[in-house]
Structure 1
Amino acid sequence: MPIATTTTTATKVEEATQGIATLKLRSPAAGEGEKAGEEGYRYAHLLPHFSPDHYPPLTPFEHVDPGHRALALPNPRAFLDSAASVVELTPHLGTEVTGINLAELDSSGRDQLALEVARRGLVVFRDQQDFIDRGPDFYREWGSHFGRLHIHPTSGHPVGYPEIHLVYRDLKSTFNFEYEDSITSTLWHSDVSYELQPPGLATFFLLAQPQSGGDTLFTSQVATLKRLSPQFVAFLRTLKAVHSGVEQALFSRAGKRGGIVRREPVEHVHPIVRRHPVTGEEALYVNRQFTRRIVGLKREESETILRFLYDHVDKSADNQARVKWRPNTVVLWDNRVTAHSAIVDFKETGEARHGARITPQAERPIPALEGLDLSS
């Protein structure tokens, strides 16, 4: 259905971002403890900006996953050889690494990293101030190694760098896609899954964070699928679902987040069970935030199956990992085989949570069932 458009004036944009633009600053102590809103905040140049630019629809492109190149190496995990520690967060999902400077990885090291993230779903790197402080030009160069950089249609970005997706919340304002009328802030999703070619490997880090709270939950969509009976999985492989960006656009057009929609919302059909192009693993590919209906089923049938799958994801704590943020942490995950949710449990403290995400697109989701027709 066509979406009614509204005109967002420069005045409205200025009003929407006034809480960011007029942050009162004061000098922090040296080292850790700098916070958004304090004078001398070193990441003030990365605070959200909502440009009124309008972009045309995204066009298809050929994606070559760098993990393929790593498969041909004698040791596709050689980039971890110099790590001080490599610890699995859970058997199914997540690895924490210390002692490696991500910013110094060469092209081969980045290829190996892509493969490792695909295999583990989630990799957490501590002590990455060098990476974070290299700034937005470096972020774009880094992300471009893994795919075409996605420009988010509604989120804030640093001035002049629309490829850097920002999250921001403090006591008085939020510039995130989140709702206040729910009993929980947990909302599992795979980033912008409504695109024809959704993201693969994503890189995210916090620039300011609350002393407690603001964690991020991750779940393995490979493990959640494996928990289901073979007969049911075989049925799911025959299904495809609509993923929609319409609700997200309407949220912004209502004046929330920043009030900007830079690219008209899209809906695309993806397989409910997808295959990773490098590892060959199958993963469940539905999420509460963007999946709307199963193609070809009646409404009650679609709702029943999707509700069951969402509940399965929600309740499967044995497939989940929780990232507790520390300063200078960089987290990478593969959107094709995981889902995640921010935890907004800190808003009453008045502290800010300010983060940046680098989001390369990947291939159009590959159906686990060969030959599945993805037309609507």
Structure 2
Amino acid sequence: MRIDAGTDRLMGATVTGLHLSSASETEVAELREAVYSNRILLIKDQNLAPKELVELGRALGTIEVYYEPMYHHPEHPEIFVSGTKPGESFEGVPQTGKFWHADYSFMAHPFGITMTSPQIVPKGKRGTYYIDMAKAFAALPEDLKDLLRGTRVEHSPRRYFKIRPSDVYRPIHELQAEIEEITPAVFHPTVFRHPVTGEEILYVSEAASFGFVDEDGRRLAPEILHEVLERTGQLDQTFTHPNIHLQTFTEGDLLVWDNRALVHRALHSPKPEPAQSYRVTVHDQHPFFGAGA
């Protein structure tokens, strides 16, 4: 197995010479550690079957099955299906993730590792944008960092909830009430130390964050959240902010990333084209929030 981090990108490494369908426990452990040190791994030439993708997830930790069944692979509910594939007997969910987020941040127990296996990659432009929230936090002014330490941030899916076929014609107040019942807002540490690398992580996203509260539960001014999102690059619609990294991929690749430290946003082709990926999400052996939480 070769891990090449390169020198011409903000983050990430390319992995070659590894066959995940027959990887040893030692190789899987080495791969897991490489995720923490490189943030993103692009593992080439895999072409994993759905069953093999699930088995890899179990080798890395404990799989978290997504709470909305409409995203599930029909034979392997551990797999979250994004997009559609012509000729398949089931429908995936198109145009997912078109906003800055960390997977499952709106749940009480987020997970540490996300894996994505592209099944169909459009001919048009496609990829995933990432921001390293450890580096983004380190670049903030000292007074803003001091203000954020010790606060908690509200997370909820209510801003970008994906409407389901069963929601058509439902009164909006019923849908809003259901969102609040099934996924009530949670408050996570705004800043915590990564349990492996020790870096301070800023746990804030444009999609799921709704403001800060101090140690006494008092709300901070909403302008602070706007400033944080702007400074980290999440409000830049040109995607030229120096914090933003675009990761491209092709069919047969496997993307594995550190879901604690990164926020990401899908880049979809501007023209409607078939597109599909399989995602598996994993709780690793470390507590999600390290010291300072």
Matched with 1:355 is 277
Question: Following superposition of structure 1 onto structure 2, how do residues 65-104 of structure 1 map, counting pairs within 5 Å?
Answer: 82-83=1-2, 86-88=4-6, 90=8, 92-104=10-22
Matched with 2:167 is 254
Q: Once the 2 structures are TM-superposed, how far is the Cα of residue 249 of structure 1 from its aligned partner?
A: 5.0
Sequence identity (%): 22
Question: Following superposition of structure 1 onto structure 2, how do residues 259-274 of structure 1 map, counting pairs within 5 Å?
Answer: 264-274=182-192
Letter in 2 for 1:191: D
Work out whether 1:309 is the aligned partner of 2:232.
no
Matched with 1:205 is 117
Q: Once the 2 structures are TM-superposed, how far is the Cα of residue 280 of structure 1 from its aligned partner?
A: 1.3
Work out whether 1:320 is the aligned partner of 2:232.
no
Letter in 2 for 1:366: F
Q: Say which SS state the counterpart of residue 60 (structure 2) adopts.
A: coil
Question: Following superposition of structure 1 onto structure 2, how do residues 104-183 of structure 1 map, counting pairs within 5 Å?
Answer: 104-129=22-47, 132=48, 135-154=49-68, 155-168=70-83, 175-176=93-94
Larger Rg over CA atoms: 1
Work out whether 1:334 is the aligned partner of 2:258.
yes
CA RMSD, 1 decimal: 2.9
Q: Say which SS state the counterpart of residue 62 (structure 2) adopts.
A: coil
Count, aligned residues = 270
Letter in 2 for 1:318: P
The whole-number CA distance in structure 2 between the counterparts of 1:90 and 1:359 is 28
Alpha carbons 2:71, 2:92 under 8 Å: kept: no
Alpha carbons 2:79, 2:280 under 8 Å: kept: yes
Give the structure-1-normalised TM-score: 0.64
Alpha carbons 2:5, 2:38 under 8 Å: kept: no
Matched with 1:238 is 150
Matched with 2:207 is 289
Q: Once the 2 structures are TM-superposed, how far is the Cα of residue 169 of structure 1 from its aligned partner?
A: 5.0
| Pick aligned residue for 1:218 from 118, 124, 130 | 130
Q: Once the 2 structures are TM-superposed, how far is the Cα of residue 149 of structure 1 from its aligned partner?
A: 1.3
The whole-number CA distance in structure 1 between the counterparts of 2:95 and 2:274 is 16
Q: Once the 2 structures are TM-superposed, how far is the Cα of residue 220 of structure 1 from its aligned partner?
A: 0.7
Residue ranges of structure 1 left out of the alignment (5+ in a row): 1-81, 179-184
Letter in 2 for 1:146: L
Q: Once the 2 structures are TM-superposed, how far is the Cα of residue 196 of structure 1 from its aligned partner?
A: 1.5
Q: Once the 2 structures are TM-superposed, how far is the Cα of residue 177 of structure 1 from its aligned partner?
A: 6.4
Alpha carbons 1:219, 1:321 under 8 Å: kept: yes
The whole-number CA distance in structure 2 between the counterparts of 1:163 and 1:309 is 34
